[in-house]
A and B are shown apart, each in its own frame.
Chain A
Amino acid sequence: MLKPLTDKTSLPIFKRTLPKLDLLHYFLLIARSVNKFLFCAALFILVSTPCVKAQDEINYAVYANIIYRFTKYIDWPDDRKSGDFVIGIVGNSPVYDELVSFTANKTVGSQKIVIKKMSLSASSYDCCILFLSDDASKNLKKIVAETENTPTLIVSEGKGLALKGACINFIIADEHLKLEINKTNIEKRDLNIATELLSLGIIVRE
């Protein structure tokens, strides 16, 4: 601070007094503040459009990457080892865009990867992997029934779906992706799953 370097002689009795904040004064300050706040809040609501919740941002690139990795840990029957390797997406999910982007120059063996959006009302689901997004998961049972006994790996996202017919189910726990794996559902579809993948997931038994 700017400090005097010279000695002072006699100094006057001159002391600034501070306004004291008693409880009542303090309460009034808060009340005035709250009033102003309410005014500002009203102004804010008037000038701004309605607000939405702070939404979770999910990194769907990780979903896409893992779905692609399934092709290395699942063995499809020979009749699915020729032609295009189709990954179907049911529902409106960013996973579609991520998969299209991520698999653009990738193959499964010599098979070209094709990402297809599929409708809930489709007559058939001719694909190797079928991903049901969260918004389509209520139709899981229907789709499981329609693809029964076909070598289609049903992948879903949502709590408990591995017990409702999905082969592999994504769940989010502690901000990380976890895999629920229903080995029975996989084997029913004439698919073989590598032990390594099993070891990384949560095995679900009915």
Chain B
Amino acid sequence: MKTLNPVPGMIKITIKQAFTFFAFIAIGISYAYGQSDTTKLDDLSLKDLLNVKIVSVSKSAESLFDAPLSASVLTKEEIRRAGCTSIMEALRLVPGIIVREQTNGSYDIHLRGMDNVPPNAAFDLNANTTTLVMIDNRPIYNYLRGGTFWETLPVDINDVEKIEVVRGPAAALYGPNAVNGVINIITRQIKKDGLYIVANNKQGSLNTFINNASVGYQQNKWGIIASGNYQGRNRSQTSYFEFNRNTWLQQPAYFLSYENDTATNVKQRYPNPGLAMDKYAGNIFLNYHPSEKIKFDLSAGIQHSVVQKVSNENEVTPLSTASSISRYIDFRANINGLSAQFSYNNGTQVTDYDPGNKYDFTTFDASIEYNFTKGNFSLKPGLGYRLAVYDDTKYSDTLDETGIFNTKAKLITQTASLRGEYKLLKDKLRLVAALSANEFNYPDTTYISYEFAATYKINKKHLLRAVYSTASRSPTIFDDYLDQTVTYFQTGNKTFSKLEIDGNQNLKLLTENMLEIGYRGIINPWLNIDVELFNILGKNYNTLVDSRPYTELDGTDTVHVTPAISTNLPLQLVQHGITVSLSYSLMKLQIKPFITVQQTRIKNYSHFINTPDAQTPGAEQNNIYSAMGSIATLKSTPAVFGGASVNYVFSPKINVNINTYYYTEQTYYHLSNILFNDGIRGIDNINAKLIVNANIEYEPVKGLRIFCSGKNILNQTSREFFKSDVIPFMLLAGFNFEL
């Protein structure tokens, strides 16, 4: 039995031991309470029973117990009761997600980790590109370097009905980029005719102000909601960490870069050192539902955000000031078996307040699916089209290549998919198969993603399931179109030397394969258990690699070019682990603990970032291939993480919630580690951390709740990400109103 990545000072835990431990807890609790079959339903009045939603449709609103994939749902009530200040923070209540706060309100979010890959790379190459975030099935995917700019979400907690999370490769079902999972934010709709109002107000430590509200009206088949949100937050500190001097600097007059060059535009880069986040957005949701089988939904919105976060490599300090202004429109139609969605999003973003990091973008997504049903046979074919256009020519000198990619870059993805299900053995065995073919303009190759899943329902209370899936990520602008001249200088008469970094339109796309088995059980009416064992293989990672130099002629000048090109690395990630979630709910008490124990290993990883034919001294021996056959623990992904939410309804008017989040020690390796190569700079040990939050709600009149919440009440101030801010205790108070 293999031991999962032991952390100094911690007890070694094997998967078998973890299983045994949780089985023991589950069985122990089930025997400890010999209650009758009194379910939550039993506590409801007959009138309330008739208000219970009793229908859920496969795929669109899957019964969680029967879901073939490993999935979790977080409801708006759970988010509110936990006192979460944002959608990102709420993800700490979901099993299998690693959420680290960088600055007040900005988070690094990874499903099951597999982060900081490749190690020792620029921040740009370490973003989470493998989780597909959606709002009402509309992909919120930033194609610049892949992933999600969380602060640019136009919706906030007031808009959220629930958050669905699917863990594991699911591109065959959800489209490209659902490589390691999906986070789908489902927005609220008005449930009954008449006026609809939701308002949230929160303020507290670090000048944190969170206000959001929705006003709507529904009449028969029509409904409209207008919503708006604002978040203003300050950092917990005003100092910045400088890579070169390996120290924190208080509003310095200058920064030193890796090469000891002086960057004096500090005020331009960081106009407001104390600011963590300033964002606001507005949305309109319009729906027309003439019947249960015919529904039309239209939403549109605009957002503006300025944050300081870690996501952009600027060679001097982890934090960058990033801003975004964008707008979207999304139309969804469901007509009997036909479902179609068209969305358009465009805007202007700045990844760093340093010249050359600004661009315009437009994305267009279209998908159409039809559910053919004949007797017991049905197929759901679908077609999808995605266009992402990123253009920085307005903001850069394309001749001097002062922008990021210095062109109008296009990424096109065309998708054809097919999904089906088959139930047999009196519906006990359910087989799900999904397949999608994705064709990209670059690389000019068709990638097949597929998913095979089976559930076997032993009886109504016990379900076994298995999934085998593979999924690929789409290319990014950074991968395909990166085009920068880093240095250019004269070396002699009419001879010049140039260091440039380039994209690569022939990269193999990052792909993950997963085998997962799971068990869900209703141990007794008040205790459910969900166990998933997973094994994931990730490959085709890429980074900028120093490659073979060449000479080009520029008129009568000779230019010696040393290129760093986006190149696939031979490294592979192998992750296996277990996630266990329990849900205990009896009368006024609800407890939901969850834990993931995993081992993530990296194979064939060499810390050299050059090809054998590069100009680097010793390149033939020391290059990206020089560690073939090696295997090591990926220290940036925690071996154990999880949390728990404990909710107690003291009285109909008072609710108390305590929720925790925990992860073990990690080590982050930044690009500066291999540039300075002194074993100190570029390495950050992130301590294990237990975060405890508490929230007390009081409802003096129906619909109005006054609350007080403490975030990180143990005041565990250690930073959660590479050289980012300390995260202190925060006290917040406010109200929630719902009509």
Interface residues, chain A, with chain B CB atoms under 8 Å away: 1-6, 8-16, 18, 21, 29-30, 32-34, 36-37, 40-41, 43-44, 47-59, 61-62, 65-66, 69, 73, 94, 97, 101-102, 104-106, 172, 174-179, 196-197, 200
Given the known interface contacts A48-B431, A51-B420, A178-B50, the answer about A36 and B56 at a Cβ–Cβ threshold of 8 Å is no
Check B437–A37 contact: CB distance below 8 A: yes
Alpha-carbon separation in the docked complex, A196 to B47 (Å): 10
Given the known interface contacts A21-B410, A36-B416, A105-B37, the answer about A3 and B54 at a Cβ–Cβ threshold of 8 Å is no
Pairs across A and B, CB under 8 Å, 28 listed: A1-B124, A2-B124, A5-B263, A8-B485, A11-B401, A15-B399, A18-B408, A18-B409, A18-B410, A33-B446, A40-B435, A40-B448, A43-B435, A48-B433, A49-B422, A50-B422, A51-B378, A51-B422, A53-B376, A56-B55, A57-B56, A57-B58, A59-B52, A59-B55, A62-B54, A66-B50, A97-B460, A176-B50
List the A side residues contacting B409 at CB < 8 Å.
18
Given the known interface contacts A176-B52, A177-B54, the answer about A48 and B460 at a Cβ–Cβ threshold of 8 Å is no
List the B side residues contacting A53 at CB < 8 Å.
371, 373, 376-378, 421
User: B36: CB under 8 A from chain A?
Assistant: yes
Check B49–A54 contact: CB distance below 8 A: no
Alpha-carbon separation in the docked complex, A200 to B151 (Å): 46
Q: How far in angstroms is the closest Cβ of chain A from B193?
A: 12
User: B554: CB under 8 A from chain A?
Assistant: yes
Q: How far in angstroms is the closest Cβ of chain B from A162?
A: 16
Alpha-carbon separation in the docked complex, A163 to B485 (Å): 81
Q: Which of the residues B439, B486, B496 comes within 8 Å of A29, measured between beta carbons?
A: B439
Check B378–A52 contact: CB distance below 8 A: yes
Interface residues, chain B, with chain A CB atoms under 8 Å away: 36-37, 39, 41-42, 44, 46-47, 49-60, 63, 66, 122, 124, 257, 259, 261-263, 292, 312-315, 351-352, 354-357, 371, 373, 376-381, 383, 398-401, 404, 406-410, 412, 414, 416, 418-424, 431, 433, 435, 437, 439, 441, 446, 448, 452, 460, 482-490, 496, 498, 501, 544, 552, 554-555, 557, 559
Q: How far in angstroms is the closest Cβ of chain A from B481?
A: 8
Given the known interface contacts A1-B312, A16-B483, A41-B381, the answer about A54 and B261 at a Cβ–Cβ threshold of 8 Å is no
List the B side residues contacting A61 at CB < 8 Å.
39, 41
Can you list the 10 inter-chain pairs with the closest CB atoms, starting with the nearest? A51-B420, A37-B416, A12-B554, A54-B58, A53-B373, A53-B378, A48-B433, A105-B36, A175-B55, A59-B54
Check A57–B420 contact: CB distance below 8 A: no
Given the known interface contacts A40-B418, A174-B292, the answer about A3 and B354 at a Cβ–Cβ threshold of 8 Å is yes
Given the known interface contacts A40-B418, A48-B431, A53-B371, the answer about A66 and B46 at a Cβ–Cβ threshold of 8 Å is yes
Alpha-carbon separation in the docked complex, A101 to B37 (Å): 7
List the A side residues contacting B124 at CB < 8 Å.
1-2
Check A14–B52 contact: CB distance below 8 A: no
Q: Which residue of A lies closest to B55 (CB)?
A: A175
Q: Which of the residues A3, A47, A104 comes within 8 Å of B37, measured between beta carbons?
A: A104
Q: How far in angstroms is the closest Cβ of chain A from B408?
A: 8
Check B57–A54 contact: CB distance below 8 A: yes
Q: How far in angstroms is the closest Cβ of chain A from B87?
A: 26
Alpha-carbon separation in the docked complex, A50 to B412 (Å): 32
Check A65–B42 contact: CB distance below 8 A: yes
Q: Which of the residues A57, A94, A177 comes within 8 Å of B50, measured between beta carbons?
A: A177
Interface centre among B37, B371, B380, B485 (most CB of A within 10 A): B37
Q: How far in angstroms is the closest Cβ of chain A from B91?
A: 26
Q: How far in angstroms is the closest Cβ of chain B from A2?
A: 5
- Extra A-B contacts (7), CB below 8 Å, given A1-B356, A5-B257: A1-B404, A8-B485, A12-B498, A33-B414, A58-B55, A62-B54, A196-B46
Check B421–A1 contact: CB distance below 8 A: no
List the B side residues contacting A3 at CB < 8 Å.
314-315, 352, 354-357, 484
Check A40–B416 contact: CB distance below 8 A: yes
